[in-house]
Structure 1
């Protein structure tokens, strides 16, 4: 599905970690007249940069609060974006929403980081949110398809490319 096929609801919620990518995505949305709303992970997202946008600070572990805030902002479409380091257990403050989802969260912890994020994403989807990727919300930030130079890949490079696609 390309971004032309996807009708984004406005506003789009950005569950934002660290780095500059969350803000590049927000600017891309604004350029298309789609309102970004930041749900900035406390202690991770850049506090100076986020002030330019509508935002809420959310500590890790506050799943119930996060969902309430997103519904209050009418954010049906969500993007997890930015860097994130697994926090120490002492830094996590659980709310009732998180405790209710704990069985699913613990199951998601049984894999790597991708498995964990996929599991957390499923929790949001089960509650009626639509989880999107950068290709859906900010395709202008992605590399274009094809070769970026005049040089063409040789047979060895083509084999590597094919392996990477698998």
Structure 2
């Protein structure tokens, strides 16, 4: 049962056959198989890297600064073209919603530049909600009043001058 490590199948160190024994009857350790090191792809890539290093070819940074900048500009141009195409393919509903959103933002921007006296008493978070409520309420009130009176010029939002009472009503003047 003793062998001096002269087993023919274990000479390459990669055998799955019977283990080799030394003089004392102990199993001789052998190197484990690493499938990554033994793979054909790894060997060919390693061989190519050694060849490129020997020749002096820089594989990783093969582009110079000008080529990198041109590629960057080309990518930016493609992004702009895709964005323009995306905008052109929008439906009429999407365009209409975007226009309405822009108008609302502009109107809110103009409304913020003229602070009302009641704004000092209310918190800044409640101010846009109250103003939105007042706008809608006045439109509804005017719509119901114009149906009865047929007079569009009488619909004016009445605001109170005292900060203790918030302006919540719309009436004819």
**Length-normalised TM-score, structure 1:** 0.16
Q: Which has the larger radius of gyration?
A: 2
Which of 1 and 2 has higher RCO (CA within 8 Å, sep 6+)?
A: 1
Q: Which has more strand, going by share of residues?
A: 1
**Length-normalised TM-score, structure 2:** 0.16
